[in-house]
Copies of this chain bind each other. A is one copy, B any other.
């Protein structure tokens, strides 16, 4: 297996910088859109075969060094009976807010066996590592409280500040769900995990430290014995990076709003970093993609532990050829001794 992704996560020497892309399986691919014409998102997530097929789609096409399980952060909650729909292009839409005490804890084998089966299939077939993932408690809570995607997260913050009992019950439940799901994915064979706290950047550092950090830390600590790299990611989290590291992550995912070198200086050499090209760059001319990418590679130079990625998911408007060219660019510019002899 090509394990340079895992070695980079462990801050070990690598022959070239590993590359993968958040949402590397998605609407920008005509093959994905063809599958989606016949199957709903949750239908794909519930079928090990379809999940494996969609997960594999980008791996060879893009030349990436890791696969990420195709799923949705809401899948475990839906499996527990939460009233959630996934709308393509919108995201999760929540009806009745779920009652943690009624829905109860996640038992992965019982509730999301199809996910674990997909993981098992994939790790047998893939020749790159498979990344499992879960939604972090804050981000999950925000969907449940707001009823869907939000810009201001006002209702979420209101519960967080006004109703500590309800907040702790909800966050504790979501912590159990995420941890159980991630542990099961790793036990089924996933080689690494990413905790998506996509919207944590809505909080200032004090609120994050007081109301969120403890739950995410419980997840990272609960995974420690498994020995797999633990990635922690959110957008707009420039003010939270040290805290997100302190939650116990091995790799911090950066968005494009922070220069990679300055962010890594703040985080220290004890963690790896992942990122951080603005996915919108790929909608512009190639010269701009190349310039931005080379700047990122220069910023990472001289340190071990850089995983190249976008700063957020691949946009649906992205040309797959541009993504492939980007993978090759990173590999070529960082590769040593990997070329065929001339």
Chain A interface residues toward B at CB < 8 A:
149, 151-154, 157-158, 160-162, 201, 203-207, 236, 238-240, 256-259, 278, 280-281, 283-285, 288, 292, 295, 311, 315, 317
Q: When the two chains form the complex, which single residue of B204, B258, B283 contacts A256, counting CB atoms closer than 8 Å?
A: B204
Nearest-Cβ distance from residue A58 to partner chain B, whole angstroms: 20
In angstroms, Cα B291 to Cα A161, docked, is: 12
Residues from chain B with a CB closer than 8 A to the CB of A288 are: 161
Option from B157, B161, B203, B280 in Cβ contact (under 8 Å) with A161: B280
Least Cβ distance of A199 to chain B in Å? 11
Chain B residue numbers with a CB within 8 Å of A236 are 201, 236, 257
Question: Which one, B257, B292, B311, contacts A201 given CB within 8 A?
Answer: B257
Q: Which chain B positions have C-beta within 8 A of A152? A: 280, 315
CA of A162 to CA of B282, assembled, Å: 10
The reply to whether B238 and A257 contact each other, CB–CB distance below 8 Å, is yes
What is the bound-complex CA distance between A157 and B284, given in angstroms?
8
In the complex formed, the residue of B with least CB distance to A157 is: B280
- Complex: how many Å from CA A5 to CA B290? 46
The CA-CA distance from A256 to B257 in the complex, in Å, is: 16
Residues in B neighbouring A161, C-beta threshold 8 A: 280-281, 283-285, 288
- The answer to whether B259 touches A162, judged by C-beta atoms less than 8 angstroms apart, is no
Closest residue of B by beta carbon distance from A287: B161
Q: Are A162 and B284 in contact (CB under 8 A)?
A: yes
Instruction: Give chain B residues whose Cβ lies under 8 Å from the Cβ of A157.
Output: 278, 280-281, 283-284
B contact residues around A256 at 8 Å (CB): 204
Kindly list 9 other residue pairs between chains A and B, CB separation below 8 angstroms, not including A162-B283, A239-B259.
A151-B151, A157-B284, A158-B280, A161-B288, A162-B285, A204-B259, A206-B292, A207-B278, A238-B258
Min Cβ gap A160→B in Å is 8
Give the nearest-CB partner of A317 in chain B.
B154
For A151, what are the chain B residues with a Cβ–Cβ distance below 8 Å? 149, 151
Collect the chain B residues with CB atoms within 8 Å of residue A207's CB: 278
